Amino acid sequence: MKLWGGRFTKSASKLMDDFHSSISFDFRLYKQDIEGSIAHATMLGEQGIIPLADAKLIVSELKQILFEIENGSVEFSAEAEDIHMNIETLLISRIGDAGKRLHTGRSRNDQVALDIKMYLREECTALSQNLKALCATLIEIATKNTDTIMPGYTHLQKAQPITLAHHTLAYFQMFARDIDRLSDCKKRLNVSPLGSGALAGTTYPLNRERTAELLGFDGVTQNSIDGVSDRDYCIELASCCSIIMMHLSRYCEELILWSSNEFGFVEIDDAFATGSSIMPQKKNPDVAELIRGKTGRVYGDLTALLTIMKALPLAYNKDMQEDKEAIFDAVDTVKSCLEIFNEMLVTAAFNKSNMRKGAEGGFTNATDAADYLVKKGLPFRDAHEVLGKLVLYCLQNKKTLDGLSIEEYKSINPIFEKDIYEAIALETCIEARCITGSPASIETKKAIAQAKAFLEKI
């Protein structure tokens, strides 16, 4: 007999039970459901809504059920539909009428919203910890590579010389923003919907603030309809997850390119690469590629949530049962990707020699040569034109700016003197860029210190 079956004259078909049931995926909410029920029962007893003795019995038995679930001695039933009904059915089977009083002043609508908020609150913390571990790895890489010169790119074309530290700290900034976003998301979801009922609250004198306090919420939702029909927090967290995956995917794309023979900037550890079934020489960056691929999966979860919610009238609709698989998958995917990406990065070996060679080609010091002329009094646009002609001359004669004689320089513009060679040295190009946020070693060390301070305060 269903707990809601009083109005029905026929049993649900087996097909209906299987289609309707969500226990196959919402079972993971068992702890949050029991903790929420314990808080609700405690409040009901304190308010005199149910006998205090019944409230205490409910709490005691719920704790026992939690213990048994965590020890693997409880089997859930698809016939009981979801985790909420499974636990309540089990409770009633053990303590009878007292267990039937648990649902007083509560609907599955606010119960579900409560459980998912409690679950996602914990997941925000877990994701932040994974990001914090990754940020610590990035700081370590940056610290070791403040003098590792490499080419910076725009349009995937060599642009200006930078350091591996500066490049790595760019990703630190991205993941630091992800941590901030998760913190903001957690702040917005950490309000309790319990007491909203089905949609219009209840006639019982519930103390919503008490259950919120018992469950560690910052407050309660201010509208009962919104309390049960809102899934912004799922969408927002899925959006945070999508942005994290986008950042991971960009980094993976670079590692994939850098590990190719054409770049040779990094060697992925054997533990995080695979071979070919036919080509014995192959070492494939499969982890990075798979993370890049899973990014689309998480985007799909976000799109699914937005689509589920886009046309739902207030308040609760059964469509909203579809929220859980999407947000669970998004969170699970991001956590696994962050964990393995961090381990892959920790064990990666950067080829400093190849990176420097990469910076020496492609005229990455051309802007600095133009700046040299500007400091000699030439307007920048004129200096830009002069360097364009110099680069063209080098291309036609298979030379580099460093390899030109002073006579060749002067043949293009007489302002050039022998100090041009020092001005366009790669180290000079980097160290001369010493404003805030630039790659000069002094600024890089400041950035590393700030990054460490950020991690210490979260």
Residues recognised as catalytic: 155, 276
Strand locations in 281-394 (E): 349-350
Contact between residue 275 and residue 282 where contact means Cβ atoms under 8 Å apart: yes
**What values do phi and psi take at 410, rounded to 5?**
-70, -25
DSSP 400-439: -TTT--HHHHHHH-TT--TTHHHHTSHHHHHHT--STTS-
Place of tokens 């499969």: 286
Q: By C-alpha distance, which of 315, 323, 249 is closest to 287?
A: 249
193 burial class (0-12, 13-18, 19+ CB within 10 angstroms)? buried
Q: Pseudo-torsion of CA 229, 234, 239, 245, nearest 10°?
A: -160
Contact between residue 36 and residue 194 where contact means Cβ atoms under 8 Å apart: yes
DSSP 58-123: HHHHHHHHHHHHHTT-----GGG-SHHHHHHHHHHHHHTHHHHTTTTT--HHHHHHHHHHHHHHHH
Cross-strand bridge partners of residue 152: 160
Q: By C-alpha distance, which of 227, 233, 232 is closest to 315?
A: 227
Rama region for 398: left / alpha / beta (φ>0; ψ in -120 to 50; rest): left
Residue 272 is classified by DSSP as G
Strand locations in 319-394 (E): 349-350
3-state secondary structure (DSSP) of residue 169: helix
Alpha-carbon 432 to chain mean position: 35
Q: By C-alpha distance, which of 399, 395, 389, 398 is closest to 369?
A: 389
Alpha-carbon 343 to chain mean position: 16
What is the CB neighbour count within 10 angstroms for residue 47?
A: 16
Residue 276 is classified by DSSP as -
